[in-house]
Structure 1
Amino acid sequence: MRKLSNLAMACLGTAAMLVFSGASLADGSAVSVNLTNGKSIFENGKPDGSVPACATCHGDKAMGQDAMKAPRLANIGYVYIVKQLTNFAEDKRTDNIMQQMNGIAKALSEQDRRDLAAYENSFPRNAELSDLNQLKTDGTKIGEAYKGSILVRYGRNGPGVAEKDRVSACTSCHGFNGRGADPVYPKIGQQKYTYLVAQLTNWRDATRTNDPMGQMRKVAHNLSDDDIIDVATFLSQAPDSTSGDGMEIGNQTVLEKLKVVR
Structure 2
Amino acid sequence: MTIIRRSGAVAALLLTTGLVQAAGDADRGATIVMQGDGQGGAPCLACHGTDGAGNDAAGFPRLAGLDAGYLAAQLRDYRDGRRNSPVMAPNAAHLSDQQIADVAAYYALQTTRLMPAEQPADLLVRGEKLVKQGDWDNYIVPCESCHGTGAQGVGATFPALSGQHPTYLRQQLEAWKNGTRSNDPNQLMLAIAARLSDEQIQAVSAYLSQQPTQGSKP
Distance in 1 between the 2:81 and 2:107 partners?
A: 22
Could you tell me the TM-score, scaled by structure 1's length? 0.71
Distance in 2 between the 1:182 and 1:86 partners?
A: 17
- 1:148 corresponds to: 127
1:83 equivalent in alignment to 2:73: yes
Residue 224 of structure 1 deviates from its aligned partner by: 0.6
Unmatched segments (≥5 aa) in structure 1? 1-15, 24-30, 137-141, 241-248, 251-262
- 2:99 corresponds to: 112
1:176 to 149, 169, 194: 149
Unmatched segments (≥5 aa) in structure 2? 1-13
**1:227-242 correspondence to structure 2 within 5 Å:** 227-240=200-213
Q: Which amino acid aligns with 1:22?
A: V
How many residue pairs are counted as aligned between the two chains? 200
Distance in 1 between the 2:181 and 2:173 partners?
A: 9
- 2:9 corresponds to: none
1:68 equivalent in alignment to 2:54: no
Q: Give % identity.
A: 31
Distance in 2 between the 1:91 and 1:81 partners?
A: 15
Distance in 2 between the 1:113 and 1:63 partners?
A: 19
Distance in 1 between the 2:18 and 2:72 partners?
A: 6
Deviations 1:131-183 (A, max 9, x none): 246xx9xxxxx9701100000011011xxx2xxx2211100010122111123
Say which is worse superposed, 82-91 or 174-183, in terms of deviation.
174-183
Check conservation: 1:20, 1:83, Cα contact below 8 A. no
Could you tell me the TM-score, scaled by structure 2's length? 0.84
1:55 to 33, 37, 45: 45
Distance in 1 between the 2:122 and 2:63 partners?
A: 23
- 1:100 corresponds to: 87
- 2:109 corresponds to: 122
> 1 or 2, which has the higher helix percentage?
2
Check conservation: 1:129, 1:191, Cα contact below 8 A. no
Please provide the CA RMSD for this pair.
2.2
Q: Secondary structure at the match of 1:68?
A: coil
Check conservation: 1:21, 1:82, Cα contact below 8 A. no
Cα gap change, 1:206 to 1:194, in 2 (>3 Å): same
Q: Which amino acid aligns with 2:20?
A: G
Q: Secondary structure at the match of 1:220?
A: helix
Distance in 1 between the 2:212 and 2:24 partners?
A: 30
Cα gap change, 1:227 to 1:20, in 2 (>3 Å): farther
Q: Secondary structure at the match of 1:32?
A: coil
